[in-house]
């Protein structure tokens, strides 16, 4: 599956209309740390297909599984960054963002140790589109980590 475009093209009003939600609700997704919209020089929010796809996925999970924002943040915080950077697996325990289980790494107060300049371009953020895929990644990596630990 190819990723949707990360090119900022939708204003907040267009994005809200596409999603069938208010602009206030769209800002709430950002405030809750679930998305990182692009910003213009004048600080206006511009959304890409990545953010649109994420919100659709989040709304589906909220409707079907009755999850709230806190549950979504926690699930996103469980995304194993070592799937994208296995060379950093040994340093995960030292990473403040990895150890903050209440927020995804891109929304954590203390940023991660990975040298990525912009969290929006990070593979962890970009891969957090399909929430069901995230769940599968989290559980499969957890099983793999337990196997490594038990050997």
Residue 118 has what pLDDT?
Answer: 78
- Residue 72: in which H helix or E strand, if any? helix 69-77
pTM given for the model = 0.78
Residue 30 has what pLDDT?
Answer: 94
Q: What is the block-wise mean pLDDT of the chain (151 residues), using blocks of 10 residues?
A: 83 97 96 93 95 93 89 82 68 71 77 71 79 70 66 64
Size of the chain in residues: 151
Residue 80 has what pLDDT?
Answer: 67
Which residues are CB-neighbours of 37 under 8 A, at least 6 positions away?
Answer: 8, 12, 30, 45, 46, 47, 51
Token pair in block for residue 146: 């337990």
Whole-angstrom distance, CA of residue 41 vs CA of residue 14: 19
């Amino acid at each position: 599956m190819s990723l949707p475009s990360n090119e900022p093209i939708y204003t907040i009003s267009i994005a809200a209309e596409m999603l069938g939600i208010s602009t206030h609700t769209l800002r709430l997704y950002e405030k809750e740390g679930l998305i990182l919209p692009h910003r213009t020089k004048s600080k206006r929010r511009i959304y890409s297909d990545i953010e649109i796809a994420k919100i659709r996925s989040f709304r589906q999970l909220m409707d079907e599984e009755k999850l709230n924002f806190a549950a979504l943040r926690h699930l996103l915080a469980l995304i194993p960054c070592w799937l994208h950077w296995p060379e950093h697996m040994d340093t995960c325990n030292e990473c403040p963002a990895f150890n903050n289980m209440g927020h995804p790494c891109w929304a954590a107060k203390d940023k991660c140790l990975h040298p990525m300049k912009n969290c929006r371009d990070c593979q962890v953020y970009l891969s957090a589109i399909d929430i069901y895929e995230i769940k599968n990644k989290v559980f499969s990596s957890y099983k793999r980590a337990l196997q490594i630990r038990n050997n």
